Amino acid sequence: MKSGKKYNFGEVVLAEMQFTDSQETKVRPVLVLFEEYGNIIVIGITSNPNMKGIAITREEGLAFNSIIKMNYIMTITEDMIKKTLLVLSEQKKDKVKNELLKRIK
């Protein structure tokens, strides 16, 4: 169902994700990078504390302390999004930008 909402960098949304090794779908949080032509580019988020990435604490609004997995970038569509959970602080968004830039240099 299209809401017409424009998703912006820094929004953490809950999305129904299908994993490549399975037909099964799971609802997971993801970080929006940008939206263009109906495609939403996102970064996966995990509650696995052993993963590397940028931390998001429960105090910031997620159910669990979590990690933004900078190596897990994918494209989703609006109909996969269930709801917006939170918007990252400007400081945390800057951290994500800097980590992305490090990886593409």
Confidence of residue 21 (pLDDT cuts 50, 70, 90): confident
- The total domain count for the chain is 1
Q: What is the mean pLDDT of the chain?
A: 92
Give which of 87, 54, 50, 86 is closest to 70, Cα–Cα: 54
Q: Is there a domain that residue 6 lies in?
A: no
**Burial class of residue 14 (count of CB atoms within 10 Å of its CB; 0-12, 13-18, 19+):** middle
**Burial class of residue 32 (count of CB atoms within 10 Å of its CB; 0-12, 13-18, 19+):** buried
Q: Is there a domain that residue 95 lies in?
A: yes
Q: Is there a domain that residue 52 lies in?
A: yes
Distance CA 40, CA 22 (A): 22
Q: Is residue 11 predicted with pLDDT exceeding 50? A: yes
More confident position, 5 or 52: 52
Q: Is there a domain that residue 3 lies in?
A: no
Q: Is residue 1 predicted with pLDDT exceeding 50? A: no
Q: Is there a domain that residue 78 lies in?
A: yes
Chain Cα centroid distance, residue 21: 20
CATH (domain of 70): 2.30.30.110
Two tokens, residue 65? 């302390």
Distance CA 39, CA 88 (A): 21
pLDDT for 58: 94
pLDDT for 30: 98
pLDDT digits (tens, 9 = 90+) for 52-66: 999 999 999 999 999
pLDDT for 88: 98
Distance CA 75, CA 35 (A): 9
In the beta sheet, which residues pair with residue 83? 14
pLDDT for 57: 93
pLDDT digits (tens, 9 = 90+) for 70-99: 999 999 999 999 999 999 999 999 999 999
Q: Is there a domain that residue 1 lies in?
A: no
Q: Is there a domain that residue 49 lies in?
A: yes
Question: Which residues form the domain of 38?
Answer: 11-104
